[in-house]
Amino acid sequence: MKTPFKLPSAARVRRFAADNVVVLIFLSVTAIAVPSSNLSASYIIQDLLTRYGRNAFLVFSLLLPIMAGMGINFGMVLGAMAGEIGLIFAVDQGIAGVQGLLYAVLVGAPIAVLLGWIAGQVLNRARGREMVTGYILGFFMDGVYQFVVLYLMGAIIPITSKAITLSRGYGIRNTLGLDSVRQSLDKLLKLELGPFDLPMATYLVIALLALFIVWFRRTKLGQDMRAIGQDQTVSHSAGIPVERTRILAIVISTLLAMVGQIIFLQNMGNMATYNAHRQTGFFAAAAILVGGASVAKATIPNVLVGVGLLHLMYIVVPPAGARLFGSAQIGEYFRDAMSYAVIALALALHAWRKRANAESARAGLRGAASGAVQPAKTEGGAE
């Protein structure tokens, strides 16, 4: 794609800054916090490497719904829940290692497809406010999840292991130890590079996902999603099944979130049965927005940059807060506040920019333009 308009360099810098203001704010905060945190470079890098493996997959699951014009899929927590149910079964059945993860994915997949389909249907009825609806849908399904896991499991859904069941005889305990699958993917192909441990198998899975996304964009379905993302009416009149395609985008996103949550939890090594998914959507959304994505456009580099930046901040801000204010708590509040504010800011900037663009697009129609209907360059172009 080429840029037909050559902007003067000052304007270009300003435009770059305006497009990336979120990234720039985040960078500058982090840049201040890194030295004050007093953490060693190798500690930070190791922690970042681990967090990449843990989180990147989840963030990738946001790409397709953005492409399909549905904004940030806060409903991805539904996928996270499906992954957790898969893990509960893997632990209950005593399936360990990578096989345990595979088993969790296989169990989680049909659940994720079902939940994704439901979410897609709901979001299709809430056009124009998909994000807030997806968010509330996450809350709603949290209740359903709790009902299933806390009341049905062990009562109606057979659970064999007493170790994970509450003493009353049904319901899963608040904390689920994942010792049997703990970091089994990370350890599968561990590469020691100087002082750093690289979980190559996890990276490989993430790389495969990135390849999948690249490939997917080139498919007919991917093209249709891009089209719908830009103009639903035109796509519809061209015969693209709009609603179905939107549902598919959400189903795929939910599936990916399911796998992402399993990867996340195997790295953590234990699971807060009823809380693990509550912040998933928030972290993923913050990461992709910090990476410079908007609600309407997101790329693979956005994901990679965003995960790095967000987690860099999460690593360095609490110790920086402790050193500067004498309280690590302040740092923790600060990084949460930053992440919330970044989401609000990115959404607001996008809405604001959309309006500005719509106005500048009509600029040519304004003013008592003398002469023919269109600016002169039009005529040259057609010859």
Task: CB nearer to another protein: give 193 or 372.
Answer: 372
* CB 46, min distance to another protein, A: 25
256-295: b or e for each residue (b if 16 or more CB lie within 10 Å)?
Answer: bbbbbbbbbbbbeeebebbebbeebbbbbbbbbbbbbbbb
What is the rounded distance in angstroms from the CA atom of residue 23 to the CA atom of residue 292? 6
Residue 218 contacts residue 201 (beta carbons within 8 Å): no
Q: What are phi and psi of 218, to 5 degrees?
A: -95, 0
Angle (CA) 37-38-40 rounded to 5° is: 115
Contacts with 155 (C-beta within 8 Å, 6 or more apart), sequence order: 169, 170, 171
What is the rounded distance in angstroms from the CA atom of residue 265 to the CA atom of residue 280? 11
Task: CB nearer to another protein: give 110 or 301.
Answer: 110
Task: CB nearer to another protein: give 56 or 248.
Answer: 248
Residue 294 contacts residue 18 (beta carbons within 8 Å): no
Residue 241 contacts residue 50 (beta carbons within 8 Å): no
* CB 27, min distance to another protein, A: 19
* CB 11, min distance to another protein, A: 17
Q: What are phi and psi of 125, to 5 degrees?
A: -90, -5
Q: What are phi and psi of 195, to 5 degrees?
A: -80, 0
Task: CB nearer to another protein: give 10 or 365.
Answer: 365
Q: Which amino acid is at 101?
A: L
* CB 190, min distance to another protein, A: 16
Task: CB nearer to another protein: give 179 or 195.
Answer: 179
* CB 95, min distance to another protein, A: 4
| The pair of three-digit structure tokens given for residue 69, joined into one six-digit string | 């014009």
Task: CB nearer to another protein: give 138 or 308.
Answer: 138
What is the rounded distance in angstroms from the CA atom of residue 375 to the CA atom of residue 68? 33
Torsion region of 239: left, alpha or beta (phi above 0 gives left; psi -120 to 50 gives alpha):
left
Scan for tokens 């896991």, then name that residue.
149
* CB 196, min distance to another protein, A: 24
* CB 101, min distance to another protein, A: 8
* CB 50, min distance to another protein, A: 24
Task: CB nearer to another protein: give 151 or 196.
Answer: 151
Helix ranges restricted to H, 326-383 = 328-361, 376-382
| The pair of three-digit structure tokens given for residue 14, joined into one six-digit string | 């300003």
Task: CB nearer to another protein: give 199 or 331.
Answer: 331
Task: CB nearer to another protein: give 204 or 359.
Answer: 359
Task: CB nearer to another protein: give 22 or 52.
Answer: 22
> Which residues, listed in sequence order, are joined to residue 175 by a DSSP beta bridge?
272
Burial of 84 (0-12, 13-18, 19+ CB in 10 A): buried
* CB 272, min distance to another protein, A: 9
* CB 154, min distance to another protein, A: 12
